[in-house]
Structure 1
Amino acid sequence: MGNSRAYPVLRTTDAGEAYRQARRLCALLGHVADKVWLFAEPATVREVRGIAAIAPGLPFDYAQGRTDPATGDRLRFDLDVTALDDASLTEHLPLTFSEEVERERVEAGILAALGDGMASLEWHGRRPDDSDADRPSKYDGIQVVFHGDEAQGGDWTEEHTVFVHVTKWGDLPLAQELAAHIGSEVLGEAQLGW
């Protein structure tokens, strides 16, 4: 039990650069899962449509809780965003998305789907020196947070942050080694990871 420790290793205002460096770090993993975890808070119709294109058929929800005026029950967003016209979809914004998605679909389309909303992409994997190749790693991986600087959510920023995730006890030397691979360094304290 526990969570990984996430070390920030890159901050930039260039989303493409953050994504490229995250992919370079993913290449150092001995194994990367076939699915990635994608979290997004699309704030515009264009962003919702972009996320829906790389995650077809997967559910969105309201970003801020809504309740039924008659019953007080929490409302869930259960509409197909691809079936709504722009005006109808606008009435439901902002939305949120948090699901596992096929890695290839996300990697092929994430940069085109991004806008000014926050998003996070997590590649879970295993270090090449992991002796138990049949065990999926709970802690190892790479994360890029678009418009954010915290691994577990946080406030919107202009910058995009790349994190390396390591054991629940932290592994600063490994994080420093990974940061050096992309010509950077660890940029702060370890944060609570996944």
Structure 2
Amino acid sequence: MGNSRAYPVFRTTDKPAAFAQAVRLCALLARRDDEVYLTADLLTVADVRQMAAALPGTKVCVKVRTDPSGGSVWADLDLTTAADSELQPRLPLHIGEFYPARSADQRFLTALGEGTASVQWSGSWPEDPDADQHGSAKYDGVQVVFHGDQAQADRWTEHHTVFVHVSNRGDLPRARKLAAHTGGEVLGEAQLGW
């Protein structure tokens, strides 16, 4: 039970550099899921159009965060066919969806606007007999948060942060080893992960 613990291991203002570092960390996973989880805040109609072009034909549930009561409502919109006049009053929009890993993540990167977004790769870290550490398909993985410094991506920042996710008890030694494999280091305390 519980959530993974996410350790920040890389931070930059360069989106492609953050993405590349996350991909390098993914290469260390002993097993990686076939899908990634993508989230994005789409701030403008242009952002919506770019995302629809990057993931053509994809119909997603869009979380509309402009409910008058301050809450969130869900709208079932097809981003490829919705008219600008239908999108504009609902901005900002939030998408969150699983996509095939090899076909969506790089296209997603090129379609990002200035809103907070993330790519999450789940899998399991390799066994580490020297440290008596075992991989966990429930908790392990890599995440890059664009325009954010929190694994839960709750506030906008200028920089982009890469996280390694480990067991729900936290595993600082494993996080340090993983970061070191790609020339990085743990940059802060463990955060609540997925």
Residue of structure 2 in register with 1:70 after alignment: none
Residue 104 of structure 1: CA displacement? 1.9
In the alignment, what sits opposite 1:54? 55
Give the 3 Å change call, closer, same or farther, for CA 88–28 of structure 1 in structure 2. Answer: same
Q: Is 1:77 matched up with 2:75?
A: yes
Question: CA 1:35–1:76 in 2, change beyond 3 Å: closer, same or farther?
Answer: same
Residue 120 of structure 1 contacts residue 145 of structure 1 at CA under 8 Å; is this kept in 2? yes
**Structure 1 66/76 Cα, relative in aligned 2: closer, same or farther at 3 Å?**
farther
**For 1:144 and 1:74, how far apart are their aligned partners in 2?**
24
Within the alignment, does 1:13 sit opposite 2:20 as a pair? no
Deviation of 1:60 (Å): 1.3
Tell me: CA distance 1:21–1:130, structure 2 relative to 1, closer, same or farther (3 Å). same
> Following TM superposition, by how much is the alpha carbon of 1:102 offset from its aligned partner in structure 2, in angstroms?
1.5
Does the 8 Å contact 2:66/2:72 carry over to 1? no
1:66 CA drift (Å): 4.6
The secondary structure found in structure 2 opposite 1:149 is: coil
Fraction of identical pairs, as percent: 52
CA deviation string 1:32-73 (max 9, x = no partner): 101111111111122222333327122212023356xxxxx9
On the 8 A contact 1:54/1:105 being kept in 2, the answer is no
CA deviation map 1:129-177 (0-9, x unaligned): 289xxx9711000000000000012210000000000011111111111
Give, as a single letter, the amino acid of the residue that structure 2 aligns with 1:165.
H
Determine whether 1:115 maps to 2:98.
no
Contact conserved, 1:62 with 1:94, CA < 8 A, in 2?
Answer: yes
Which deviates more from structure 2 when the two are superposed, residues 34-43 or residues 82-91?
Answer: 82-91
What is the distance in 2 between the residues matched to 1:137 and 1:65?
Answer: 36
Residues in 2 aligned to 1:146 and 1:97: alpha-carbon distance in whole angstroms? 14
Q: Residues 74 and 151 from structure 1, CA distance in 2 versus in 1: closer, same or farther, beyond 3 angstroms? A: closer
Deviates more, 1:73-82 or 1:9-18: 73-82
Shift in CA distance, 33/74, structure 1 to aligned 2, threshold 3 Å: closer
Task: Answer yes or no: is the 8 Å Cα contact 1:30–1:126 preserved in 2.
Answer: yes
Are residues 160 and 183 of structure 1, via their aligned partners in 2, closer, same or farther at CA, if it must alter by over 3 Å? same
Q: Hey, what's the Cα distance between the residues in 2 that align with 1:108 and 1:118? A: 16
Match of 2:172 in 1: 172
Question: Structure 2 vs 1, CA of residues 5 and 85 (structure 1 numbering), >3 Å: closer, same or farther?
Answer: same
Aligned positions of 1:31-46 closer than 5 A? 31-46=31-46
1:84 positional shift: 2.3
RMSD: 2.2
Q: Residue 75 of structure 1: CA displacement?
A: 4.7
Q: After superposing the two structures, state which structure 1 stretch, 19-28 or 32-41, moved more.
A: 32-41
> SS of the residue aligned with 2:119?
strand
TM-score (norm: length of structure 2):
0.87
CA–CA separation in structure 1 for the residues paired with 2:160 and 2:118: 9
Deviation of residue 80 (structure 1)? 2.0
Structure that is richer in strand per residue: 2
